[in-house]
Structure 1
Amino acid sequence: MPSRELTVAAPEFVGTGPLVDSLDRLTVLRDLGVSALELWSPWQVTEDDAAEVGAALRAVGVRVACVSSPSYLHGEETGTGRRLIESSIRIAHELGAGRVNTYFGHGGDGDDRHAARTYAGLVAPLLDQAAEAGVLIVLENEFDGFGHDPEHYDISRRAASLLHLAEVIDHPAFRLNFDAANFACAGEEVAKAAALLAPHVGYVHVKDVITVGPGHDGAAAGWNTYTDGDHTYQTVELGTGEVPWDDVLDRLEGAGYDGPFTLEPHCQPELLADQLAVSVAYLTNR
């Protein structure tokens, strides 16, 4: 049974609030043997307070595994996404985090191959910056959970198009953040996506989902719900949903993946401690 590096996404504790005001809530991590977090910028860390945040986390025995940001590149014309990624690279370097998590974006004309070429040009200078800083840029696959992409132009929702993108970019500082539940919500066959993309994965988000009826019919209290087009999904306890996690883990580790598995159960605060414990047990025993 492989030993897996388990981390937790900080927004599970504080949403979009500052983490330094809630460090006492991190005791659950120590109890579970988890010693690292994914932080979001600018919510939990910025360039201005990175040193302070890092010191506060070290004082409670927690390190930073990844710096994430709401950083779209494709179809984003203001430069905000690029600036967020540039800043996240500098933050990650200062905190000793090996990864910066990013997002593809929307817009364009629906031609996935054209979108891949455009994105590759936009991300190229950022990848050079990341390589110099000793940081990986990872791209998370998405679905239209926030209603920003009703045309489904974000190519990261399609495993085959994401594979093409990785092959076009072909840079040592670029990897994928494989979010199996996001693929399920995008209507992809998760096991096939894992088989296709495993050699390009450099980070993993861990949660589980089920499909629920129209109007959230059948949804249980305490869990988050999301829509993608005409479909509605709800997060559930890891291992009880539609994500074939055993297949995913086998594919990733068969391809040599040995990076973090970051827990983000997406449940309400009253369930969080128990669900993190369930997730740790699930990943430790498989």
Structure 2
Amino acid sequence: MPLAFSTLGLPAHPLPAVLALAADHGYDGLELRAAPGEPVHTGLNSAERRAAARQFTAAAVTPLTVASYVGIAEPGPDAPVLADLLAHLHLAADLGAPYVRVFPRGGADATEGTRTAAHRLLELADTAVDLGVTILVETHDSHRSGAALAALLAATPHPAVGALWDVMHTWLSGETPTDSYRLLAPRLGYVQVKDVASAEDLTPLPLGTGVLPLPACLAQLPADTWISWEYEAPWHPTAASFAPQLADGQAYLTSHLTA
């Protein structure tokens, strides 16, 4: 299975340095946190985008995802959300990334959030196809479980919209890995892995040293599924540095994917 990691674990690191870490430690791709202060974001001009794309090609690393912070089910007017998503779709297309990640971020009414998200996603789904990009909604916040995200996807029957399975959030929702995979598999883009000490302490840990059911999650996946390690360093300043863990993380994932 192809492996990636998220630049969330290396905040503000220059792109060449992150690409070198990926190439040197056996990772095939990167999830690119698209936020101010990061090397990849929607404010890049055309020349900067071309330069970034060339760096990926030279390193033989895939720009897997532009990880946006768009809240596709967020209450409020559609126009700002659609404009933000469209900007990220164009960024992904310019970089050659196949995916854009969005969050749900719906309000208290889950049904209304699903309706809002479906309407917005369908507004831009054909544009995503034209750009060669798929929009992946992450299991997160208002649609944390596989069941909740599957309902959103059922309301959005378009091939340019799929699921990003964050295994921590489906676990926090109380779903088993078997149920989460069954619900998400028909529209699954790829899987985010991580590890934590408990539901009360979400400080990131080295893979395999916490409580998340990673082996059970990984064992179900087809051989061509991308696996990406997301290490939430910015939110947990006491967490150990991410870069020194990359070799062991790659070895852990490889051992479980070939078992």
- Inter-CA distance 259–189: structure 2 relative to 1 (3 Å threshold): closer
| Aligned position for 1:62 | 61
Report the TM-score when normalising by structure 1: 0.76
CA distance in 2, matches of 1:182, 1:252: 18
Counterpart contact for 1:142–1:186, Cα < 8 Å: no
Amino acid at match of 2:193: V
Choose 182-191 or 115-124, whichever is displaced more.
Answer: 182-191
CA distance in 2, matches of 1:54, 1:76: 34
- Inter-CA distance 274–165: structure 2 relative to 1 (3 Å threshold): same
Q: CA deviation at 1:77?
A: 2.5
| Aligned position for 1:240 | 209
Q: CA deviation at 1:25?
A: 4.7
CA distance in 2, matches of 1:80, 1:233: 31
Moved over 6 A (4+): none
| Aligned position for 1:19 | 14
- Which runs of structure 2 are paired with 1:191-230 in the superposition (5 Å)? 191-211=178-198
Q: CA deviation at 1:120?
A: 0.7
CA distance in 1, matches of 2:198, 2:138: 21
Gaps in structure 2 of 5+ consecutive residues: none
CA distance in 1, matches of 2:179, 2:203: 22
Counterpart contact for 2:103–2:138, Cα < 8 Å: yes
Amino acid at match of 1:103: F
Q: CA deviation at 1:33?
A: 2.0
For these two proteins, the number of residue pairs brought into alignment is 245
Amino acid at match of 2:210: G
Counterpart contact for 2:75–2:113, Cα < 8 Å: no
More strand by share: 1
Counterpart contact for 1:238–1:265, Cα < 8 Å: no
| Aligned position for 1:116 | 114
Q: 1:10 aligns with which of 7, 10, 17?
A: 7
- Which runs of structure 2 are paired with 1:79-158 in the superposition (5 Å)? 79-107=79-107, 109-110=108-109, 112-143=110-141, 154=142, 156-158=143-145
CA distance in 2, matches of 1:242, 1:192: 18
Gaps in structure 1 of 5+ consecutive residues: 144-153, 213-230
Q: CA deviation at 1:76?
A: 4.1
Counterpart contact for 2:106–2:113, Cα < 8 Å: no
Amino acid at match of 1:82: L
Counterpart contact for 2:8–2:232, Cα < 8 Å: no
Q: 1:263 aligns with which of 224, 229, 235?
A: 229
Query: 1:86 is paired with a residue of what secondary structure?
Result: helix
Percent identity among equivalent residues?
Answer: 27
